[in-house]
Amino acid sequence: MSSLLEQLIEALRVLPGVGPKSAQRMAYHLLERDRAGGQRLAAALAAAVERIGQCARCRDFSEEPVCATCASPARDAHLLCIVESPADRLAIEQATGYRGCYFVLHGRLSPLDGIGPSELGLDLLAARLAEGEVQEAIIATNPTVEGEATAHYLAQLARRHGVRPSRPAHGVPLGGELEYVDRGTLAHAFGSRSEMG
């Protein structure tokens, strides 16, 4: 059985980009200098893991069955922006004047990794498109190989439901991740999106 310190270090390693040395530094910092901060972190993490789920309409993180964005009558229900992650949704929301709705995939199609349409909630997306309210699907997947393949699949799905697919254009670098694109570039790319052929 490993010690509590070893368990803490190993637990911190689940975070992206945190290796053994970083995890060790974090653990020592919390124990040496900020035990109260460690307790706040533990409480917030426990509450978040227990109470944050997915919105029934858009699959974004939400404490409620339907998130505030989907519940807002001020959002344009004719526009649906499809993103890979909640971080991508937040980046678009903060950098652009977009006032439509969202759908969060929580990934991208990757058959080699066992990620297909059902893992991305595409049955829920198809049902939403079939409602007839959405007129344009803005497919804002990342410009990676898997992101482009996912975009192509989503464009076909949108067309089958009579929805016009479009894609953000200009300035988003090929192979880049939306979460890390600067606000100005993302705002320009989002404002100059074009219909997919």
Q: Please list, in sequence order, all residues whose beta carbon lies within 8 angstroms of the beta carbon of residue 84, skipping any fewer than 6 positions away.
A: 104, 105, 106, 107, 108, 141, 142, 147, 150, 178
Q: Where exactly are the structural domains of the chain?
A: 4-51, 61-195
Task: Give pTM, 2 decimals.
Answer: 0.78
For residues 75 and 79, what is the distance between their CA atoms, to the nearest angstrom? 9
Residue 46 is predicted with a pLDDT of: 94
Q: Which CATH number fits domain 4-51: 3.40.50.1100, 1.10.8.420, 3.30.450.30, 2.30.30.140?
A: 1.10.8.420
Task: Return the pLDDT at 174.
Answer: 65
How far apart CA 193 and CA 178 sit, in angstroms, is 14
pLDDT by residue, tens only, the chain of 197 residues:
579 999 999 999 999 999 999 999 999 999 999 999 999 999 999 999 999 999 999 999 999 999 999 999 999 999 999 999 999 999 999 988 899 999 999 999 998 888 888 899 999 999 999 999 999 999 999 888 898 899 999 999 999 999 999 988 656 666 778 787 777 777 767 766 667 76
Place of tokens 């509590």: 4
Q: Which fold has domain 61-195?
A: Dna Topoisomerase Vi A Subunit; Chain: A, domain 2 (3.40.1360)
